[in-house]
Amino acid sequence: MDINLTIIGQSIAFAVFCWFCHRYVWPLFANVLEERKRTIAEGLEAAAQAGRKLESAARQSAEQLDEAKASAAGIIEQANRRSAQIIDEARQQAQMEAERIMLAAQAEIEQEANRAKEELRAQVSLIAVAGAEKILGRAVDQAANEDMLRQLAAEL
Amino acid sequence: MAAAGAESQTVQEYIVHHLSYLTFGRHPDGHWGFAHSPEEASEMGFMAIHVDTMGWSIALGAAFLLWFRRVGLRASASNPGAIQNFVESIFEFVDNRVSEGFTHKNSLIGPMALTIFVWVLLMNAMDLVPVDWITGIAAWVGEHVFGFDHMPFKIVPTTDPNITMGMSLSIFLLIIWYSIKHKGLGGFLGELAFHPFGKWMVPFNLMIEIPTMLAKPISLGLRLFGNLYAGELLFLLIAGLLGLWQLPAHFVWAVFHILVVPLQAFVFMMLTIVYLNAAHEPAH
């Protein structure tokens, strides 16, 4: 075996190559792999977080839905009550109105009757006088019988 | 795949040619230059460098790192392309092995494991290039351009013990460095001297522990070298001896070798991680 300077040359080359690899090659790949590892870890973490968020959002939406249902039921009930109340009120009002119209009509009828009576009363003396004149065949002095006529009218 | 334009070569010459290195070094007379024969190369002794394996080693390592850096600079965390995915899967494979095997804090271990794995994998994979393609072209260029007859040109760096031992001895130095750093010099020496049999058996303990310690880098480097060298040698024997029958034989051996190439790169990386992890353990 011829051992010669080549062994020293190879040792130097080995040292230089190791140094070069250590300084200029290894870190490039170490960094890339490290970065990729980090990216994947971040991605997984983000996915887990998104899952948790989704869960909480689903819970929240269910809660809100329940709340909305409850409030809608409340509103419907209130509306029902209110509508019943309005119908009641309307009915009462209509009854009152009807009574009022009836009373007014009765009052008018009474008034009309009174007026007719008054008119009749006013004309009764004339009729009585005319009747008497017919019966007696002569004029009756209205003024002289004023008392009797007024009494007659008052008895009507 | 037989040696191009080398009818005159014997099988032995062919194999020797393929197992020789393109060596640049100091000749015995003192001047520096290429060795033109295996004899000249061995006369140079230690003061020589294998231009071919060293060059391929550096070229492959640089290509891998620059390519990874290019991919890394364009990498996107959210939208990775096919090439990025491929590089990332290698990165993650190594990173997982490191986090399983290395239980201490040291930011150098990951990059070192990645460098070892991919670099050794690429160097081993050169074994799958048919043995005469690049070597043949280089020999032709050497002969016709530089007037260099039978220029050797080895393209599989991990069949050169200098390459594998260079790495494993670097790792051995790191083992010692981190052992002393984390156990203290006393702890480090104590582990050598007082295990496994306590303080009355120090010489015996040293006799066991020191070879154990030395065996780590040597076996680490030689395992890789031996596997690849044997694979290469078998390719050469197939190419040199079987004539036309080499085609199916090459295919079968290449398929086996596809297993060896990543396996040896993986073993080298895993053992590095394990040894360095042990070096980081506090003294006990």
**From the candidates B85, B89, B96, B219, which is the catalytic residue?**
B219
Mean pLDDT across the stretch A113-139? Answer: 83
pLDDT at A82: 95
B151-170 residues touching A, CB cutoff 8 A = 160-163, 165-167, 169-170
Report whether pLDDT(B3) > 50: no
* Nearest C-alpha in A relative to B45: A4
Contact criterion met (CB below 8 Å) for B178 and B47: no
**How distant is the Cα of B262 from the closest Cα of chain A, in angstroms?**
19
* Nearest C-alpha in A relative to B159: A1
- Cis bond leading into B152, ω under 30°? no
Report whether pLDDT(B4) > 50: no
Q: Is B277 on the interface with A (CB under 8 A)?
A: no
pLDDT at A155: 76
Mean pLDDT across the stretch B161-189? Answer: 93
Count how many domains chain B has. Answer: 1
Which of B21, B69, B170 is the closest to A14 by Cβ?
Answer: B170
Query: Is residue A99 one of the residues assigned to a domain?
Result: yes
pLDDT tens readout for residues B59-74: 999 999 999 999 999 9
Instruction: Provide the pLDDT confidence category of residue A69 given band limits of 50, 70 and 90.
Output: very high
Query: Is residue B51 one of the residues assigned to a domain?
Result: yes
| N- to C-terminal Cα separation, chain B | 57
Count how many domains chain A has. Answer: 1
Q: B223 catalytic, yes or no?
A: yes
Report whether pLDDT(B141) > 80: yes
Report whether pLDDT(B156) > 90: yes
Query: For the ranges A121-125, B210-214, B238-242, B268-272, which has the lowest average pLDDT?
Result: A121-125
Query: Is residue A39 one of the residues assigned to a domain?
Result: yes
pLDDT at B133: 87
How much of chain A, in percent, has pLDDT values that exceed 70? Answer: 99
pLDDT at B8: 57
pLDDT at A129: 80
Query: Is residue B269 one of the residues assigned to a domain?
Result: yes
The whole-angstrom separation of Cα B131 and Cα B2 is 9
Q: Is B108 on the interface with A (CB under 8 A)?
A: yes
Task: Give which of B22, B44, B64, B91 to mutate to test A binding, by max A Cβ within 10 Å.
Answer: B91
Query: Is residue B4 one of the residues assigned to a domain?
Result: no
Query: Is residue B6 one of the residues assigned to a domain?
Result: no
**From the candidates B106, B162, B170, B223, which is the catalytic residue?**
B223
Q: Is B55 on the interface with A (CB under 8 A)?
A: no
Query: Is residue A153 one of the residues assigned to a domain?
Result: no
Report whether pLDDT(A125) > 90: no
Q: What is the ipTM metric for this complex?
A: 0.90
Query: Is residue A154 one of the residues assigned to a domain?
Result: no
Query: For the ranges A140-154, B8-22, B33-47, which has the lowest average pLDDT?
Result: A140-154
pLDDT at A134: 84
pTM of this structure = 0.75
Q: For chain A, what is the mean pLDDT?
A: 90
Residue B139 domain boundaries: 11-280
The whole-angstrom separation of Cα B115 and Cα A28 is 14
pLDDT tens readout for residues A71-119: 999 999 999 999 999 999 999 999 999 999 999 999 999 999 999 988 8
| DSSP notation for chain B | -PPTT-TT--HHHHHHHHH---EEEE-TTS-EEE-SSHHHHHHHTTSEEEHHHHHHHHHHHHHHHHHHHHHHHT--SSS--HHHHHHHHHHHHHHHHHHHH--S--TTHHHHHHHHHHHHHHHHHGGGS-TTHHHHHHHHHHHHHS--TT------GGGSHHHHHHHHHHHHHHHHHHHHHHHHHHHHHHHHHSTTT-GGGHHHHHHHHHHHHHHHHHHHHHHHHHHHHHHHHHHHHHHHHSGGGHHHHHHHHHHHHHHHHHHHHHHHHHHHHHHHHHHHSPP-
Mean pLDDT across the stretch B118-123? Answer: 96
Contact B57 A29 (CB under 8 A): no
Report whether pLDDT(B5) > 50: no
Query: For the ranges A49-63, B172-186, B193-207, which has the lowest average pLDDT?
Result: B193-207
**How distant is the Cα of A47 from the closest Cα of chain B, in angstroms?**
18
Residue A15 domain boundaries: 8-113
Which of B47, B72, B165 is the closest to A5 by Cβ?
Answer: B47
Query: Is residue A89 one of the residues assigned to a domain?
Result: yes
pLDDT at B2: 43
Mean pLDDT across the stretch B7-16? Answer: 78
